[in-house]
Chain A
Amino acid sequence: MAVAFDEMNIPGGDLRPAYQELARWLKETPPEALEYRRQEAELLFRRIGITFAVYGDSESTERLIPFDVIPRIMSGKEWGVLEKGLKQRVKALNMFLRDVYHGRDILRAGIVPEDLIFQNPVFRPEMNGQQVPHDVYVHIAGIDIVRVDSNDFIVLEDNARTPSGVSYMLENREIMMRLFPDLFARHRVAPVERYPDELLSALRSVAPLSASGEPTVALLTPGVYNSAYYEHSFLADKLGIELVEGRDLIVKNNEVFMRTTEGLKRVDVIYRRVDDDFLDPLTFRPDSALGVPGLMSAYAAGNITLANAVGTGIADDKAIYSYMPDIVKFYLGEEPVLKNVQTWRCRESKDLAYVLDHLSELVVKEVHGSGGYGMLIGPAATKATIEAFREKLKREPEGFIAQPTLALSTCPTCTASGLAPRHVDLRPFVLTGSKSTTIVPGGLTRVALKEGSLVVNSSQGGGTKDTWILDE
């Protein structure tokens, strides 16, 4: 594995320009002061109630995501490149989805194999030929980005279903501004606080034609026991929209209403944080208590906008991921600005053979997995784990892809033994409305707090950092 790219230090002892002021500040600040404010930050998080639930963990049902007080800093120029690449990628994702559920040009052109679409459990035949309002499928995308050198941004994963984490981006900033006003005063950090406004206008812009001039938007949550519930309530609050559960909604004459103290009120746009499978027990899982019976027929009748649309899973599937560079070229006729990680498709026998031969060097992921569950990190795994995984892989090769173990870039991070480099990734949030695509400068930086660890997922012991884009 190559030496990781250090985002602060240039080999040889110099600092990258974006970090110079931070380094000066760190020199002036005694370690105790830093530790004190770190504790204060934790207290604030707990009091505000920014917690998440870890599934399968009965000990403590609510946990804090560790927050690292050292910001991750990027120059405006770097951000400019990233922004261009993200807009391009999300545009292609939306065009791909529209195509997959309508004309299927890309299948006929032989760019993406048919069976990968039609035999994919996240493909929704219900969406075939269905018009979605304003042709937008992915209103909110979270694209996971990593760096391995100073030149390139690499997409690790596209999240086109119900990406989470944006509340941490916003709250991390709030807390940093509260705890480190002096550090802020020494930088020009681009603000992120417009995100809720931009999200609301994006959601309103995609209201169905049958909506009134002032469309009603609601956020649909699975409820308080969902791991991301805090985020749902946070966003509903910031947007000033109702936070609804399935039982608050009812479908009548193919229109969706919420039950209010004044009777039924029509809803035009649902920002749903409930998975496709649970949305409507009449169409999908009949045992779902989280959904709204009849929602899909209101959707088909064009009376409600779901954000994101149903069936977007087919675009962020890890098996489709490996085709993204071709997808971008096919729809936009442009070279992709953001690179992909080299990916072996275990469904192809040549690739599978290579993967089986190199398991100890590779990261193997489930095609439909997320959250860092069910993956093998070759270099860190024991022999027994690798052998067990080998069997799984042979049994069901089409369920997996493999990638080289990337040396994710590092940022200085508070550890028990002082500041030390830790691996990070970045999830910026891309909003698509009827007219435009916007991204607030920044995103959620996740950091693997364990020394040498490459897993940044909060469910696997990762933490977060505030992400600063310098406004030069």
Chain B
Amino acid sequence: MLSRTAENLYWLARYVERAEYLARTIDATLRVTALPAAYIGKTNEWDSALLTAGVAASFYQTYEEANEHNVVDYLSFSVDNPSSIRNCIEAARLNSRSVRTALTSEMWDTINSAWIELQAVWSKGTSTREDLAKFLRFVQETSLRFDGSAYRTMLRNDAYWFSRLGLHLERADNTARILDVKYHVLLPEEEHVGGPLDFYQWSSILRSVSALTAYHWVYRETLKPWLVADLLILNSTLPRSLASCYDNLVRNLDQIGVAYGRQGPAQRHARGIRNRLEHSNMNDIFQHGVHEFIQEFITDNSRLGEIITKQYLI
């Protein structure tokens, strides 16, 4: 398959995943900020939304204050923010157009319809909360449809594997970024452990990776910070956990390796990260420092992106 095609498929999946993640982040922030101040403390939740999206620096070049209006606009509709939802969908469509021959008609239809709706319905942004909720649902449904149609209609060959690589790499990055911004509320030695304040912070984290229900199924416990961290980092049954993303990355890279009859640095690097996750437990991670662990992971993960690009995509 053409390297350019593989590259487009990989980025297409990344953009769709990122759009969904941004929608979830906004959704979770809206919930948390709807609570009385006593429950969430003095942190500016809109500021941390910007941080988890990795666009805080560019945001403050245009805006002075991180409030609902500004942040929602910047993350959702801004033309200037290269990874706004709107730009993600546009980029996804442009990528789709370049690789139409590698997409099934269902996948193309999903992306193209989303792009049409974006222009027809959402070109002016949203003016009410109700509108915003509808918009966020639209973005999440687009991602679900896209993923579903890829899963149900694509041939299981390199085109599929490269698109999965993009999805899981982006997903791992997103989960790690939430952890990076919120790690302090997960630290067990914080004095106000168990207060209502943290409960909402934890549930907000879980909500942004759609894992609130999953938490209860897995641990059958009330929310505990180290279990939240365990779920998002090490529990490979949760699709958005770092461990699960790496199971998938390794599997898809292996499939590419088998199909092409050779392995390379991408396979080795991914396996290295997966092994580290497999052999860690939360105790060690807390001892080592959650923050450091996450930072290292983010660096390793983006390194894998570079290696994949070099090995296959250019």
Q: Which residues of A contact B (CB under 8 A)?
A: 46-49, 223-224, 229, 233-234, 236-237, 242-245, 247-248, 258-262
Contact check, A49 vs B260: say whether CB atoms are below 8 A apart. no
Contact A233-B97, Cβ < 8 Å, known A46-B116, A49-B108: yes
Contacts of A245 in B (CB 8 A): 4
Contact check, B94 vs A224: say whether CB atoms are below 8 A apart. yes
CB nearest neighbor in B for A229: B97
In the complex, B2 has a CB within 8 A of chain A: yes
Contact check, B2 vs A236: say whether CB atoms are below 8 A apart. no
B267 vs chain A, min Cβ distance (A):
14
Contact check, A224 vs B4: say whether CB atoms are below 8 A apart. no
In the complex, B158 has a CB within 8 A of chain A: yes
Q: Which residues of B contact A (CB under 8 A)?
A: 1-6, 94, 97-98, 100-101, 105, 108-109, 112-113, 116, 158, 162, 256, 260, 312-313
Contacts of A224 in B (CB 8 A): 94, 97-98
A241 vs chain B, min Cβ distance (A):
8
In the complex, A236→B116 CA distance in Å? 24
Which residue of the partner chain, among B98, B112, B116, B158, contacts A261 with CB atoms under 8 Å?
B158
Contact A242-B2, Cβ < 8 Å, known A224-B94, A233-B100, A261-B260: yes
Contact check, A237 vs B97: say whether CB atoms are below 8 A apart. no
Contact check, A248 vs B109: say whether CB atoms are below 8 A apart. no
B31 vs chain A, min Cβ distance (A):
34
Contact check, B2 vs A244: say whether CB atoms are below 8 A apart. yes
In the complex, A258→B2 CA distance in Å? 7
Which 4 A-B residue pairs are closest in the complex by CB-CB distance? Answer: A233-B100, A237-B101, A261-B312, A236-B101
B27 vs chain A, min Cβ distance (A):
28
A259 vs chain B, min Cβ distance (A):
5
CB nearest neighbor in B for A49: B112
Contacts of B116 in A (CB 8 A): 46-47
Contact check, B108 vs A261: say whether CB atoms are below 8 A apart. no
In the complex, A22→B158 CA distance in Å? 48
In the complex, A419→B98 CA distance in Å? 39
A256 vs chain B, min Cβ distance (A):
14
Count chain A CB atoms within 10 A of each CB in B4, B6, B112 and give the residue with the most: B4
Contact check, B3 vs A243: say whether CB atoms are below 8 A apart. no
Contacts of A243 in B (CB 8 A): 5, 100-101
Contacts of B113 in A (CB 8 A): 47
Contact check, A260 vs B1: say whether CB atoms are below 8 A apart. yes
Count chain B CB atoms within 10 A of each CB in A223, A236, A260 and give the residue with the most: A260
Could you write out 10 A-B pairs with CB less than 8 Å apart? A47-B113, A223-B98, A229-B97, A233-B101, A237-B101, A242-B5, A259-B2, A261-B6, A261-B162, A261-B312
Contact check, B3 vs A260: say whether CB atoms are below 8 A apart. yes
Contact check, A247 vs B4: say whether CB atoms are below 8 A apart. yes
Contact check, B260 vs A262: say whether CB atoms are below 8 A apart. yes
Contact check, B101 vs A49: say whether CB atoms are below 8 A apart. no
Contacts of B162 in A (CB 8 A): 261
Contacts of A47 in B (CB 8 A): 109, 112-113, 116
Contact check, A248 vs B3: say whether CB atoms are below 8 A apart. yes
Contacts of B94 in A (CB 8 A): 224
Count chain B CB atoms within 10 A of each CB in A229, A261, A262 and give the residue with the most: A261
In the complex, A95→B5 CA distance in Å? 39
In the complex, A49→B94 CA distance in Å? 12
CB nearest neighbor in A for B261: A262
CB nearest neighbor in A for B311: A261
A304 vs chain B, min Cβ distance (A):
17
A265 vs chain B, min Cβ distance (A):
9
Count chain B CB atoms within 10 A of each CB in A223, A233, A247 and give the residue with the most: A233
In the complex, A46→B97 CA distance in Å? 13
Contacts of B312 in A (CB 8 A): 261
In the complex, A223→B97 CA distance in Å? 10
In the complex, A224→B91 CA distance in Å? 13
In the complex, A115→B5 CA distance in Å? 46
Contact check, A259 vs B4: say whether CB atoms are below 8 A apart. yes
Contacts of A223 in B (CB 8 A): 98
Contacts of A258 in B (CB 8 A): 2
A177 vs chain B, min Cβ distance (A):
16
Contacts of B105 in A (CB 8 A): 48
In the complex, A259→B2 CA distance in Å? 6
CB nearest neighbor in B for A238: B101
Contacts of A248 in B (CB 8 A): 2-4
In the complex, A261→B109 CA distance in Å? 26
Contacts of A233 in B (CB 8 A): 97, 100-101
B97 vs chain A, min Cβ distance (A):
5
Count chain A CB atoms within 10 A of each CB in B1, B6, B97, B158 and give the residue with the most: B97
In the complex, A233→B100 CA distance in Å? 6
In the complex, A262→B6 CA distance in Å? 11
CB nearest neighbor in B for A234: B100
Contacts of B5 in A (CB 8 A): 242-243
Contacts of B97 in A (CB 8 A): 49, 224, 229, 233
List 5 extra interface pairs beyond A47-B112, A224-B97, A261-B6, CB under 8 A: A49-B112, A237-B101, A243-B100, A259-B2, A262-B260
B162 vs chain A, min Cβ distance (A):
8
CB nearest neighbor in A for B6: A261
Contact check, B3 vs A259: say whether CB atoms are below 8 A apart. yes
Which residue of the partner chain, among B2, B98, B108, B109, contacts A260 with CB atoms under 8 Å?
B2
B215 vs chain A, min Cβ distance (A):
38
CB nearest neighbor in A for B113: A47
In the complex, A48→B112 CA distance in Å? 8
In the complex, A262→B262 CA distance in Å? 9
Contacts of A262 in B (CB 8 A): 1, 260
Contacts of B108 in A (CB 8 A): 49
In the complex, A174→B113 CA distance in Å? 20
Contacts of B109 in A (CB 8 A): 47-48
Contacts of A259 in B (CB 8 A): 2-4
